[in-house]
């Protein structure tokens, strides 16, 4: 992989990691805030119900008393309320005409009650003679003021009276003697509160009855839904800002690395270019000496051959480094001149060149090539890819071995697949991840072939990637290796020339 692509890969991984951490943090924060606010709103809702129930509980004894009088028809309009009930809620009487202007004199009873059944009528009718002083006034500005109802029950859980615009159709629980209970059904939440009464001159509490306050939860659900949408919108904005910031931060953090890669590429290219001239002079001089063997002292012949071999290897290494320097970076993707090419013809030429080396080692070199498979690319670069693969297969296959080159398409006729399979020494599993690294060679490969540079597979991978393809290898030690190349097809079997 080129340095440019490695840098882009590192940048993408850093950005993904940064976004992953931020999204996870925002997600956890979203859940925590949503749960906490939901709990707080529900607690406020329950506290509101409890306060309403406590306010209503102060009137339970009076409601029971007045309901009993109305039910029995035993009410005397001129009779003052009993002293005990007057201490709870003082009964009020309108002034007669004679006393209307005398504020400091006692008022005479003047109040009319209409008979009501035990569960009919309104609280205002039942308590018309009492000054409520706003004890049961529900604050309409309260954020949870919405369809609600209050019910008074006696100690037998029989409904006495109901107030409000919400009717609850389920009965009270049988276990309410000691604590309140909250129940929610059909988006209606109700709180049932037992009420105890202490008779005069007694310290014993007696169960007087129950108060049930009910309220629809729709307003609470609306608030929670508004909260969730607000958190989602805020999270999306935060993710967007995080992504923008992450891209900026990764670009800034990788700028020094990119500059280092650029300087290294420039140095490699310059050094390779500068080395070509002296190496050319050395090779020319050695060629002249070898063309006149009579001028060479027999004692120095081996030294001259060693110098020629070393200069050849050095020249090859410099050429490979220069090629890699040119291929590194996005410029390589633009600089390659690509034309339609028949893969079978390129492979046939490459195999023909490799036949001599295969015959010298008595290796069987076979091919199975499908025709009319065309790709868009550079012929010399593709030939170098296939030449590296085939030459390696021949070099690392022992005598009487076999090398097979195949060309075919996938089932969708979208990809050309080239395989080079041998029966050579194979590659150890721990060495497979390093095959395409630059200047890397396994210890066994160094023994089998001393003249290698360790750049052939790196060059092949880079050239294949420049052509939009992939290259990989499978191998077993002692059984051989199989390199395969995948390239996008331009024209396949249905190609019609012209």
Under the banding of pLDDT at 50, 70 and 90, the label for residue 89 is very low
Higher pLDDT, 130 or 19: 19
* Token pair 């029995």 in the structure block, residue: 72
Q: Is the pLDDT of residue 107 over 50?
A: no
Under the banding of pLDDT at 50, 70 and 90, the label for residue 494 is very low
Cα–Cα distance measured from residue 348 to residue 384, given in angstroms and rounded to the nearest whole number: 13
Top mean-pLDDT range of 194-203, 285-294, 359-368: 359-368
Lowest mean pLDDT among 200-204, 221-225, 228-232, 234-238: 200-204
Q: Which parts of 158-316 are beta strand (E)?
A: 159-164, 181-185, 188-197, 206-216
Q: Is the pLDDT of residue 473 over 90?
A: yes
Q: What share of the chain is helix, strand, coil (3-state, %, to 5)?
A: 50, 20, 35
Cα–Cα distance measured from residue 141 to residue 161, given in angstroms and rounded to the nearest whole number: 25
Residues 432-441 have a mean pLDDT of 83
Handedness of CA 281, 287, 292, 294 (dihedral sign): positive
Residues 70-97 have a mean pLDDT of 46
Residues 71-77 have a mean pLDDT of 58
Lowest mean pLDDT among 61-70, 123-132, 191-200, 373-382: 123-132
Lowest mean pLDDT among 66-75, 86-95, 476-485: 86-95
Q: Please report the pLDDT score of residue 99 as a whole number.
A: 34
Q: Please report the pLDDT score of residue 224 as a whole number.
A: 87
Q: Please report the pLDDT score of residue 407 as a whole number.
A: 95
Q: Is the pLDDT of residue 336 over 60?
A: no
* Token pair 């692509």 in the structure block, residue: 5
Which residues, in sequence order, are CB contacts of 125 under 8 Å at separation 6+?
114, 116
Cα–Cα distance measured from residue 405 to residue 349, given in angstroms and rounded to the nearest whole number: 12
CB 374 within 8 A of CB 343: yes
Could you tell me how many residues make up the chain? 498
Strands 188-197, 415-422: pairing kind: unpaired
Cα–Cα distance measured from residue 66 to residue 60, given in angstroms and rounded to the nearest whole number: 10
Q: Is the pLDDT of residue 121 over 80?
A: no
Lowest mean pLDDT among 97-106, 164-173, 207-216: 97-106
Strands 339-342, 159-164: pairing kind: unpaired
Residues 371-387 have a mean pLDDT of 90
pTM: 0.47
Smallest CA-to-CA distance from 152 within 96, 93, 212 is with 212
* Token pair 């923008």 in the structure block, residue: 244
Lowest mean pLDDT among 13-17, 228-232, 416-420, 494-498: 494-498
Residue 471's H or E segment, with its range, is: strand 470-476
């Amino acid at each position: 992989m080129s340095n440019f692509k490695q840098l882009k890969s590192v940048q993408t991984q850093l950005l993904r990691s940064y976004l992953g951490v931020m999204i996870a943090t925002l997600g956890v924060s979203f859940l925590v805030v949503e749960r906490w606010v939901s709990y707080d709103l529900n607690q406020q809702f329950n506290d509101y119900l409890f306060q309403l129930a406590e306010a209503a509980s102060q009137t339970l004894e009076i409601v029971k008393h007045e309901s009993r009088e109305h039910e029995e028809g035993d009410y005397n309009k001129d009779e003052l309320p009993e002293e005990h009930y007057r201490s709870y809620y003082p009964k009020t009487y309108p002034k007669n005409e004679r006393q209307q202007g005398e504020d400091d004199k006692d008022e005479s009873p003047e109040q009319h009650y209409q008979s009501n059944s035990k569960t009919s009528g309104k609280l205002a009718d039942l308590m018309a003679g009492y000054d409520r002083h706003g004890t049961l006034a529900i604050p309409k500005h309260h954020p949870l003021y919405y369809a609600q109802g209050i019910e008074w029950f006696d100690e037998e859980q029989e409904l006495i009276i109901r107030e409000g615009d919400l009717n609850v159709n389920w009965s009270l629980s049988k276990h309410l003697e000691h604590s309140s209970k909250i129940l929610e059904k059909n988006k209606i939440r109700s709180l049932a509160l037992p009420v105890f009464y202490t008779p005069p001159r007694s310290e014993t509490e007696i169960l007087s009855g129950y108060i049930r306050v009910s309220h629809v939860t729709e307003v609470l659900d609306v608030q929670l839904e508004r909260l969730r949408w607000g958190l989602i919108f805020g999270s999306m904005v935060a993710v967007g800002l995080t992504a923008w910031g992450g891209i900026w931060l990764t670009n800034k953090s990788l700028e020094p690395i990119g500059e280092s890669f650029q300087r290294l590429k420039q140095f490699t290219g310059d050094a390779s270019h500068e080395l070509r001239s002296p190496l050319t002079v050395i090779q020319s001089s050695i060629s002249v000496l070898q063309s006149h063997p009579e001028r060479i002292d027999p004692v120095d012949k081996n030294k001259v051959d060693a110098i020629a071999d070393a200069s050849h290897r050095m020249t090859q290494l410099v050429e490979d480094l220069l090629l890699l320097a040119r291929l590194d970076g996005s410029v390589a993707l633009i600089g390659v001149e690509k034309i339609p090419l028949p893969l079978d013809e390129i492979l046939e030429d490459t195999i023909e060149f490799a036949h001599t080396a295969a015959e010298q080692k008595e290796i069987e070199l076979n091919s199975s090539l499908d025709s009319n498979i065309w790709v868009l690319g550079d012929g010399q670069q593709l030939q170098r890819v296939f030449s590296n693969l085939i030459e390696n297969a021949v070099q690392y296959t022992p005598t009487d071995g076999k090398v097979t080159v195949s060309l075919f398409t996938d089932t969708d006729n979208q990809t050309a697949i080239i395989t080079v399979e041998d029966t050579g020494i194979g590659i150890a599993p721990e060495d497979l991840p390093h095959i395409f690294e630059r200047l890397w060679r396994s210890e066994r490969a160094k023994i089998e072939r001393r003249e290698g540079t360790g750049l052939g597979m790196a060059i092949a991978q880079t050239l294949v990637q420049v052509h939009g393809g992939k290259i990989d290898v499978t191998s077993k030690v002692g059984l051989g290796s199989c390199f395969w190349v995948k390239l996008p097809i331009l024209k396949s079997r249905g190609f019609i020339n012209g």
